[in-house]
Structure 1
Amino acid sequence: MWFCGSSLSKALAVAPTRVYNIKLCSPRKELFMKRSLSRAVALLLVLCVLIVPAHALTVEQAIPLLEQHYVDRLPDAAYQAQTMDELMQAIGDRYTTYLSAEEYQAFHASFNDKQTVGIGVSIQNHERGVLISSIVEDSPAEDVGLVAGDVILSADGVALTDINQAVSLLAGQADTQVVLTVLRQDGSVQELTLTRRPFTVNTTATFNQTSDGNAGVISCTSFGNKTSNHVLNAVRDNDASVHAWIVDVRNNPGGDIYTASGSAGVFVGGATMVYLRNGQDEYTYIFTHPNLQPKTAKNTILLTNGNSASGAELFAAAVRDHYAGIAIGQRTYGKGVAQVVLSDETHPDLFDGDALKVTAYRFFSPTGTTHDQGGVLPTLLISPLNTAAVALLLSSPAPESATGYLNISLAGFEFFVSLDTALSEPYRSAFVELLEALPPSARFWMDRGNGNFGEITLRDVLSRTGVEDEFVSRQFSDLADCDDRDAINTLAVYQLVSGYGDGMFRPDKPITRAEFCAMVANALGISPSGNTEQVFYDVSPSTWYYNSVMALYERGYISGYSDGGFYPNQCIKAEEMVSILAKAAAWMNMNAYDLSQTGPEPEALTAYPEFSRWAKDSAWLLDTMQVDLSDLSPAEYATRTEAAALLYRLLTATNVIWPTRPE
């Protein structure tokens, strides 16, 4: 069985999902568009997570299965493991777990819309316990006032340290009680007693229309077996009566991937939804629906947050890569791998009701980019407080007259904002944040005084709407003479680069090795595993850049010097940056990965005479990926401008930054 999922737990606590058999599609044959097809095993694809166990499968039996199916090479420590617990710990992958017969049965039983028993929360790991990502309606959790964002610190006096332990403590029989210690979002700590009981989890989508009638709102809590039909019916039956569609996938932990694909097809039409690559570098892909046309031409606005995971992320990435709409909110969770579940259905001679869940595939978006760890970056990075309000502001129809309206062009879409609504008290702060979140590529038009739109600047918008004093720019104030100011300010708007406390970027300042590592790690959303001890003598855990350096080191992007040092405060050369970003590109994009595996023809490297021999392959890879290197002096120390501009080019070439729809 195939499983792809977030770390949102699924046992008696979460919205369950329907299981479907995967049908592997025909292979792609050309570079960037064609891939070899992996062999089919009896698999199921679901977006979820499970619990770790007691065992029947032995280590000796598990190792060959892992060697065959695990997406990466097994670490040496795996071959030293004496127990299944030790084996799982050695692999160090929270998604690769062993399931006892009882746990596997409970997991299977959770996939359909049905009544279940528990407290009714979706959870994910948190440094202080487990974070509640969503609450099931009419559940014990809702009864006591728990909300998404609360952190459960302990259950019945036992401190919670991970999801698997939390699920075992939160699960239980109907009419039994559990006492939770909860950190509320206001910083207070409360002790709450919940009585477990049956409740119904609906894994579907619901339709509503905004009070002004402008937008149809589809709230999608999970991709259950009925979701795609509900999405299709909502759009088909109501498209004529709305001016925009808002699809809310906040706190959506995933669900069935075919349902997610079918739902995306309503907006993108018949198109590639996702590519999957296994440990043998074989690819397969999943299509939304053959010969399907988009069911709406209206603006589509997705709402995302940090708990939008797996299927919800695939949905968002498909909308992004197929230019079907925009997204508003926060960066998504970052779960871009799929698991196979091996059981007595696939290996009757090894299993007796138990199962082994193994990370076996990596996800890639229609244009080839993974959202693993880094998540999907929205078009507008908006706080949770204002996400829905900004979407409503952008849902107005095109007016007959420009009077009282602001026209915004963003990512190839046209939006109209009613200024009467935007400047009213319930929406004013959201309107200001909308203006703060717009990238430099956004354009503006307002009334010229004759009822017609005329183009103006952001500064003019602030002045004419009277919000100058409330507006806090995310862009840097010292880039007026910088040729790459739009690139740098775009990164700043998305909080992918930072400057100094005075609002300056200091573009001409040389950038150090540590600073560049921090810039890359932040932009890619990666962090260290915590399983690697200090590697460089001059990069200690107490330094501000330790996590960034270790994150890049663990992925093989960087190495130190022969004396064991990293020299973090030494300036970095342009060709060193190229080498790091080429390795990053190979991890984040399947096309770049394929280039890294095939390598260039020798004559191709003659195009990079200024690069050192060790950096030529990297220069070729980035250049082939359409990352412009023409303004770099490879052997010279790089400035902050050169570093940020190079990073921006990579992020736009791979669609990490939301692209602009072609005209």
Structure 2
Amino acid sequence: MRKTDYAFWTFLLMTGLAGATTLLNVTQTYSASASQNSELYKQLDLFGDVLERVRSDYVEKPDDTALIEAAINGMLASLDPHSSYMSPKNFRDMQVQTRGEFGGLGIEVTMENGVIKVVSPIDDTPAAKAGLMANDLITHLDNEAISGLTLEQAVEKMRGPVNTPIMLTVVRKGKDEPFDVKVVRDVIRINAVKSRAEGDIGYVKVTTFNEQTHANLVKAVETLDKQIGPNIKGYIIDLRNNPGGLLDQAIAVSDDFLEQGAIVLTKGRNNEETQRANARPGDISDGKKLVVLINGGSASASEIVAGALQDHKRATVIGTRSFGKGSVQTIIPLGANGAIRLTTARYYTPSNRSIQAKGIEPDINVEEAVPDDMKDKIAAEKPRGEASLRGHLKNPDGTEKEDDLGEPSGSSSYVAKDADKDTQLQYAINFLHGTAKGPETSSATPSPAPTTTGPTSGSSNKAPVPSDDDKKVTPN
């Protein structure tokens, strides 16, 4: 046989073997997929059988919609504590909360003895302009008694389209008779950022991360800078009891104080889902000293900010260990059927550490002093962190924060109402003045310097969307 013939038959044989191998692999893959689908269909048949039995045999006629919603929610809740189903109404409410603006009256309210009590009217809103005052009691809305409504139901009735009127029946101390107040709804904007000067220090309290947080923070810093002047010592960013919010706003707030480098990494199930947000040049504080306050109520987006500024050594983190929620939820709209909140990624600080079920350890651990008359009550309320939640995601490195008895734990979320008695705040002020004494640096392992390796996809310009560390999925 000639060499060319030998080469030809060798080529055919190898091609044939490769084709056979490819065909075998495809067949095996198809077979495995078909087997998985077959098992899934059996489980769906089981669900259908149970549903039909409930519908036909339950002692009372059930609500089919409620049954399906409960089944969906049960499925999602079995994944982790932060995945859930939102009915259309809950989805709308969540969108209102994270937008930070809605059509309403502009009053902070609570429920007392079956009626609405005004805690405080918000400045420059319809309620304030109509003359509503703190401690006013609202008994009727458009001549319908509030009695029997929940606080949420009453608030829903007070909200509504802009430029529409509502009649409030008000009982006020010092007035013999109830009186009516007509209020025309307007756009109400919730300011998630409050600020004030503490002598030569700028104090900024961030209560949540909604669509307005970054813009409000920039305005607050500009105002404080003008108010205090060139001798400003630095800024205190108070994230205590901030439960989180929008991922893009946490990135923007971190970027406000960083010139370069990674802010946060989000890692999904697959490597291609990994993204990294990077800081852009520009520091709104002009490099002034920063202190970030955290405690057991600081979660998710708050922890992203604290972790980024801590890893870059841009801020000194003071307080107690944060909550430890290191996961990202994506809101997936379901048309007219509401939406699902699904955990789709873990996030990591710039030095590639996960705080899931561990939290951010402060650079300086400072416990808030508790008044004697509240010590027993607070001691009875055991602090709970992410590690205490049933079904929580495990930390990727296999470690979680536990107390001395080996039980998942959190840290205290108590904050004194009086600034003069706020131990953590006063320590932060003294720290910026260089006169802090007392608490020692926490025993936590110092954060490693940020790495420059890792995924480079992603951007700090994510579109804003609902939830407590959520990413946006454009509605269908």
- TM-score when scaled to structure 1? 0.36
Q: Who wins on radius of gyration, i.e. which is larger?
A: 2
Question: Using CA pairs below 8 Å that are at least 6 residues apart, which structure has the higher relative contact order?
Answer: 2
- TM-score when scaled to structure 2? 0.49
